[in-house]
Amino acid sequence: MMPFSEEKEPFIIGQDDRVTAVYKPCGWHSVCQKKSDHSIVSWLYDQGIPRLRESQMDQELGLIYRLDQMTSGILLFAANPQSLEELRQAQKELAIVKRYILISTFSECELLGSLPGTLKEKQSCLIEELFSKREAYIESYFRPYGPKGASVSCIAAEFASKSKKPITKEIYVSKFIAAYRMIEESNARLRLPNEAVCLEVEIRKGFRHQIRAHCAWIGLPILGDMLYGGQGSNRLWLEAFSVCLPQADRCRNEWKLYNGIQDIAQVSSE
């Protein structure tokens, strides 16, 4: 499978003694919000996989984590109650590693409600680090922002005491691993802006909209992410392409759709 496939329907990537791995297309909910929603949980239930339907661990069929509606990528479902308990504990211990590919563009906008309003001064340093094959980290507390808390804002550790509204109890970290500047031919084929940049990001403990907010905070909002100041597009260019689990006997340690940013580079050069 190539990055940002136009696949519109979910499919089962594979399964072992611990999990069933499912591809979630852009636009599908992880879990139903209302009856009319397309959700991976309801789709998977309809597939009639005996071990998931019969175990009935919970209403979410043992879903380990969620993805935003407009984010595509890998979801994992525990195969049995023991695996569900073990993997949720592994999440708490930061032992489950998720990697994402995203396409961003440069922006001068601030992330409203954040303290400070922007980390744009870190943007050039972060990009330079990534192009030099060195990792970079963005971390913050979060708090809901906007009507009905539809978005989140980022609160730097040194500003935590100055926030007038409640913030998360913990700091959340996004690890930026690599960057690739898209070439014009690829941009035209994928209908991307000329100055688009591809980033690979890793998280171990995720908060709602974490990567989206962190990217916007450093002046690199994700393409198609209108909520966080991104340029308009036909989709949100964010995909969870790899999930690495704690090692276990007879079970796969990693589930992935492709190899990461090097596959974006390969597509761009073809």
Tell me the domain boundaries of the chain.
Answer: 100-239
Is residue 57 very low, low, confident or very high in pLDDT (cuts 50, 70, 90)?
low
Is residue 154 very low, low, confident or very high in pLDDT (cuts 50, 70, 90)?
very high
> Residue 214: in which H helix or E strand, if any?
helix 210-217
pLDDT in the model for residue 265: 67
pLDDT in the model for residue 183: 62
Three-class secondary structure of residue 22 per DSSP: strand
Of the two residues 98 and 59, the one the predictor is more confident about is 98
Strands (E), 146-205: 151-155, 172-181, 197-203
DSSP 230: P
Is residue 267 very low, low, confident or very high in pLDDT (cuts 50, 70, 90)?
low
pLDDT in the model for residue 248: 77
Where is average pLDDT lowest: 74-78, 165-169, 180-184? Answer: 180-184
Query: Cα separation of 86 and 64, whole Å?
Result: 10
Tokens representing 156 are: 């730097």
Query: Cα separation of 214 and 209, whole Å?
Result: 8
Q: Which amino acid is at 183?
A: I
Three-class secondary structure of residue 190 per DSSP: helix
> Residue 142: in which H helix or E strand, if any?
strand 136-145
